[in-house]
Chains A and B, each alone.
Chain A
Amino acid sequence: MAGEPPLVRASGLHVHFPMRSQMPFRRSVTEVVRAVDGVDLHVRRGETLGLVGESGCGKSTLGQALVRLIDPSAGTVEFDGVDTATLSASALRSLRRRMAVIFQDPFASLDPRRTVGDTIGEPLAIHGLHRGRRRRRARIGELMEVVGLDPDHRGRYPHEFSGGQRQRVGIARALAGEPEFVVCDEPIASLDVSVQAQVMNLLVRLQRDFGLTYLFVSHDLAAVRQVADRVAVMYLGRIVEIGAAPSVVDDPQHPYTEALVSAVPAPSPRKERARDRIVLGGDIPSPAAPPSGCRFRTRCPKVFDPCPHYDPVLQPVGGDDALGGDDAVGGDTGDADAAQGHQAACHLHGVRG
């Protein structure tokens, strides 16, 4: 299992958005928003990698950069061992059949002027799949059935559907090209609570039936804990903690993850009352001017001497010595193995920068 190469791998990935002045012909760059600022990440074939973080931390940008919807400013993205930056336009297009995106807002992600049948069939038309009118029609109907929609509604327009149904249309479109890798960009965040579980179960079932690999972007740690095999926690353009889902959620090693975990409501009133909440002060700093050293230090309850001076890197953490003050990480690699490669970028686990 460990020997198999990952399906998607990002190395040193940066996505910067230059803000330009509006002067015609002289659009000088005034500042640079560092949405993704140095991320190394891989997604293994068949797994679900959860990506969590606050709004504006760059998690959606990272997701879209992995499928090359956004071009990286630096670093590489490899899909199935191929560097996507080196591909020709036509090769990239055929690669797009193998990856798909499910977007957050089902009201914005469907073209209001096209029928849902046309929308679901678009990947088929682009990649020349299921040629012929009848075949394509049958395939569209099949896709609609798979996601729990009535194929007879293929001629309807998006505004004639509810939010949950529209998200199913978005999922059917994503499945149309029979992709291997699907970025689920907050797929349930804008749905009614009653519908969230249905769509979630649908996504889980589809993964099982079609052997999909998911990047599940969400700010809902509870949802991620439920579906993800591994979890990556993102803060201000960086991955600050990554590891097996139970390990990260039940035994968070980074103060930011601790705060996120503490914000998840407990399932019983007694536990809920006993729960210690860590409430972070302030807002996420501007990604155009991240703080020196550790990016989280401005809001970290455990900030200490080295934080403003050294930028922490991801390093293995022990499975049980939660937040010990020991500087040395120690040579206990066997321990890190036990925590399934649980890593955190925090000086509490040894100052490394």
Chain B
Amino acid sequence: MRDEALDALPVEGKHRSRWVETLLLLGRNPMALVSGAVLFALVVVAVFGAAVAPYGYNEQFAGGQLEAPSGQHWFGTDEFGRDVFSRVLFGAEVSLRVGLVAVGISLVAGVLMGLLAGYFGRWLDDVLMRFSDMLFAFPAMLMAIAILAILGPGENNAMIAIGIVYTPIFARVTRASVLSVREEIYIRASRASGAGNTRVLARHVLPNVSAPIIVQTTVSLAFAILSEAALSFVGLGTQPPDPSWGRMLSEGRGFIEQAWWMALFPGLAIFVTVLAFNVLGDALRDVLDPRQRSALSGKGGGA
């Protein structure tokens, strides 16, 4: 009898609708929509680059070196007569993968370190944060090169090295926010209800420190793509003749006076990608904050 009454209650999936609502709100922001479309296109190019590109990334046109952009070669050709447009398309895969994987590594490791250090404090804070300071003390490039000297050059190792180098930033950003959030009364209230550390960290602390982490993630994506470029430049990242935007940018630098397109187009690709990540990250941060959310959806909230 009681269960009948219970069955009569509507039981629409609240979690499903919350995700859908987030996406819908995100869709209302035109900037987010545009950047989302750009990133989607990039992913398509990264996955299907070979099918989209007009030429092979290593296909040389004899006698067609350093040609200016034209109907045949939209972005011109490089010093070996390779089509820059095709190489930019192929490079999307490398750059996106390196950016996402490297930032993924530092995001997971850094946020975990920051959460534990900030929440538990005491000796754990000292150990984790001094370790992170140690990593932070070296210039990023020097550190990455040192790590690659141990692991050996190559794209995968470059991702790991970049991931390690950017970990302390995430640890610091997270820890700083955790330090203030852990003193909040709602954390105490949750503990009063019997919540353990795992629950408090996952359900209360992490969601409330997410805003600066999201912003840091989008910024770091940009830096990771550039770091991969720098590592490739010194020969420790992507190995030639494989294309990556960073590699193309640094190689094009030498020809900037004869062939500006060699550096410009990979540079633009990095610029657009980074910008798209940043805009989407900002929009995501706003939409994930319930206070902003009701302002966005015009529900009208209290003070």
Binds B, one of A30-38, A156-164, A254-262, A310-318: A156-164
B301 touches A157 (CB 8 A): yes
B126 touches A25 (CB 8 A): yes
B302 touches A159 (CB 8 A): yes
A108 touches B299 (CB 8 A): no
Q: Is A187 an interface residue (CB 8 A)?
A: no
Q: Is A58 an interface residue (CB 8 A)?
A: no
Chain B residues contacting A137 (CB-CB under 8 Å) are 9, 11
Interface size on B, residues (CB 8 A): 34
A134 touches B11 (CB 8 A): yes
Given known A-B contacts A101-B192, A173-B193, A111 and B6 have beta carbons under 8 A apart: no
A112 touches B190 (CB 8 A): no
Q: Is A53 an interface residue (CB 8 A)?
A: no
Q: Is B28 an interface residue (CB 8 A)?
A: no
A112 touches B193 (CB 8 A): no
Contact with A along B54-96 (1 / 0, CB 8 A): 0000000000000000000000000000000000000000000
Q: Is A103 an interface residue (CB 8 A)?
A: yes
Q: Is B150 an interface residue (CB 8 A)?
A: no
Binds B, one of A10-18, A119-127, A281-289, A329-337: A119-127
Give the residues from 118 to 164 in chain A that come closer than 8 angstroms, CB to CB, to chain B: 122-123, 126-127, 133-135, 137-138, 155, 157, 159-162
Q: Is A180 an interface residue (CB 8 A)?
A: no
Chain B residues contacting A161 (CB-CB under 8 Å) are 302
Q: Is A100 an interface residue (CB 8 A)?
A: yes
Give the residues from 94 to 109 in chain A that come closer than 8 angstroms, CB to CB, to chain B: 94, 96-97, 100-101, 103, 105, 108-109
CA distance A163 to B6 in the complex (A): 31
Q: Is A114 an interface residue (CB 8 A)?
A: yes
Q: How far is the CB of A35 from chain B (nearest CB, A)?
A: 15
Give the residues from 55 to 110 in chain A that come closer than 8 angstroms, CB to CB, to chain B: 64, 67, 69, 89, 93-94, 96-97, 100-101, 103, 105, 108-110
CA distance A93 to B190 in the complex (A): 12
CA distance A235 to B192 in the complex (A): 26
- Classify the interface of chain B: helix, strand, loop or mixed: helix
Q: How far is the CB of A175 from chain B (nearest CB, A)?
A: 11
Max count, chain B CB within 10 A of own CB: residue among A96, A122, A133, A176:
A122
A133: which of B11, B193, B207 is its contact (CB, 8 Å)? B11
Q: How far is the CB of A157 from chain B (nearest CB, A)?
A: 4
A103: which of B7, B9, B185, B299 is its contact (CB, 8 Å)? B185
Q: Is A341 an interface residue (CB 8 A)?
A: no
Chain B residues contacting A133 (CB-CB under 8 Å) are 11
A177 touches B185 (CB 8 A): no
Interface size on A, residues (CB 8 A): 40
B6 touches A24 (CB 8 A): no
Chain A residues contacting B11 (CB-CB under 8 Å) are 133-134, 137
Given known A-B contacts A157-B290, A157-B294, A170 and B9 have beta carbons under 8 A apart: no
B186 touches A134 (CB 8 A): no
Give the residues from 168 to 192 in chain B that come closer than 8 angstroms, CB to CB, to chain A: 184-186, 188-192
Max count, chain B CB within 10 A of own CB: residue among A96, A113, A134:
A113
Chain A residues contacting B294 (CB-CB under 8 Å) are 157, 159-160
B189 touches A109 (CB 8 A): yes
Give the residues from 272 to 324 in chain A that come closer than 8 angstroms, CB to CB, to chain B: none
CA distance A112 to B195 in the complex (A): 17
Chain A residues contacting B193 (CB-CB under 8 Å) are 96, 100, 122-123, 126, 173, 176-177
Binds A, one of B101-109, B196-204, B216-224, B258-266: B196-204
Q: How far is the CB of A146 from chain B (nearest CB, A)?
A: 17
A105 touches B185 (CB 8 A): yes
CA distance A138 to B289 in the complex (A): 27
Chain B residues contacting A160 (CB-CB under 8 Å) are 294, 299, 301-302
Chain B residues contacting A135 (CB-CB under 8 Å) are 6
Q: How far is the CB of B274 from chain A (nearest CB, A)?
A: 28
B186 touches A138 (CB 8 A): no
CA distance A309 to B202 in the complex (A): 53
A122 touches B190 (CB 8 A): yes
Q: Nearest chain-A residue to B205 (Cβ)?
A: A111
A162 touches B195 (CB 8 A): no
B208: which of A108, A112, A138, A173 is its contact (CB, 8 Å)? A112
Give the residues from 228 to 244 in chain B that come closer than 8 angstroms, CB to CB, to chain A: none
Q: How far is the CB of B216 from chain A (nearest CB, A)?
A: 18
Q: Nearest chain-A residue to B183 (Cβ)?
A: A108
Max count, chain B CB within 10 A of own CB: residue among A101, A105, A162:
A101
Q: Is B291 an interface residue (CB 8 A)?
A: yes
Chain B residues contacting A112 (CB-CB under 8 Å) are 186, 208, 290-291
B14 touches A155 (CB 8 A): yes
Max count, chain B CB within 10 A of own CB: residue among A111, A122, A126, A162:
A111
Q: How far is the CB of B192 from chain A (nearest CB, A)?
A: 5
B residues with a Cβ closer than 8 A to A are 5-7, 9, 11, 14, 126, 130, 184-186, 188-196, 199, 203-204, 207-208, 289-291, 293-294, 299, 301-303
20 residue pairs of the A-B complex, CB under 8 angstroms, read A64-B188, A94-B194, A108-B185, A109-B185, A109-B188, A109-B189, A110-B186, A111-B186, A111-B203, A113-B204, A113-B207, A114-B204, A122-B193, A122-B203, A123-B193, A134-B9, A155-B14, A157-B293, A159-B302, A161-B302
